[in-house]
Amino acid sequence: MPSSVIEVENLVKVYSGGTRAVDGISFHVGAGELLGFLGPNGAGKTTTIRILATLLAATSGAARVAGFDVTTQASDVRRRLGLAMQTPTLDTFATGRENIELIGRMHRVPRAELKRRTDELLELMGLTAVARKLAGTYSGGMRRRLDLACALVHRPQVLILDEPTEGLDPQSRIALWDELERISQDGTTMLLTTHYMEEADRLCNRVAIIDNGRIVVDGSPADLKAGIGADTVTLQLDANGPEDLARQQEDVRGLLRGFGSLESVTPEPFGVRLAIRDAGRAIPELMRRLDGNGRVVHVIGLAVGQPSLDDVFVKYTGRRIRAEAADHPIILGW
């Protein structure tokens, strides 16, 4: 048994159209670890995962899962892998139970064990009551949980999940997080992708922040946030439409130029976000500055907070995940 269950070295994927979706990615995931790939849509997360899952050939580089090479030992990899992709791949005209059993038979789980395992998974995912209903009648959250049950039926050593909570309502998302935590605590090595920083923060031992096909930084969520070294101050601005907002945002930038402990100014739909070292001390002087020089900035709210993984993303890429995620449609269709 290798100490790293997933090993990726200098992986590159150039699609036939010329898109360099993965541009030299290297990382390791240790046994029992839960690594999160956090990045905006189009960053190359799904492409990386499809290569690891043996569904797509890399252009160059190497990847091993559970010690097996994804190119030359694909069936060994598949046997040890549970996979749930961005769009649940369920048979909508089969019941929940039948879906799990179907996947179990594909993985050659012996009949008696499959029955036990299916009962157990239906229970674990809270689907026992709807086990005899067609999957096509399930809600989004139920489909996700059924898909996860299918991915777990053969007790995979490694679980790979692509955007596991995409499109779920907040309540179902939290329920699924609990489930994923439980699976991780059972010792399953996990790799998941997400563009939700709260999800990465909450679930992952380690997060790799990915942008434009490259890992820009990785570490534990706590270390990454501590590395920001500044607090987040959000200023809510009262503006008369987008032009006035843009003007006020520029004025804030101008008024704070040279302000000692200020690290960055980021425009936001509600005003601006500032990264300021030791914000508590800096605020009185900050307010005096914003008051000055005849420029009118209407501050109607101020909040001081700890940095988030989004602030980490901003630090390393100069952009935000949230805005990016909203701008780009999710790429489906394979």
CA atoms of 303 and 291, how far apart (whole Å): 17
User: Considering only residues 27-86, where is the footprint of ligand ADP by CB under 6 A?
Assistant: 39, 41-47
User: Considering only residues 293-332, where is the footprint of ligand ADP by CB under 6 A?
Assistant: 331
Q: Which does 221 bind (CB under 5 to 8 A by kind): Mg ion, ligand ADP, none?
A: none
The strand order across the sheet containing 231-237 reads 262-268, 271-276, 231-237, 299-305
Phi and psi (nearest 5°) for 78?
-60, -35
Report the Cα 268 to chain-centroid distance in Å.
Answer: 22
Q: How far is the CB of 256 from ligand ADP (least distance, A)?
A: 34
The structure tokens 């008696």 sit at: 112
Q: Which does 19 bind (CB under 5 to 8 A by kind): Mg ion, ligand ADP, none?
A: ligand ADP
**Which string of DSSP letters, residue by residue, matches 124-169?**
HTT-GGGTTSBGGGS-HHHHHHHHHHHHHTT--SEEEEESTTTT--
Contact status: 21 vs ligand ADP (CB under 6 A) = yes
Nearer to Mg ion, 85 or 276 (CB): 85
3-class DSSP assignment, residue 71: coil
Report residue 24 as tokens. 């030299």
Q: How far is the CB of 41 from Mg ion (least distance, A)?
A: 6
Nearer to Mg ion, 204 or 275 (CB): 204
Nearer to ligand ADP, 246 or 331 (CB): 331
Q: How far is the CB of 192 from ligand ADP (least distance, A)?
A: 12
Nearer to Mg ion, 23 or 76 (CB): 23
Give the distance between the most distant pair of CA atoms in the chain: 79
Contact positions vs Mg ion (CB under 5 A): 45-46
Contact positions vs ligand ADP (CB under 6 A): 15, 17, 19, 21, 39, 41-47, 331
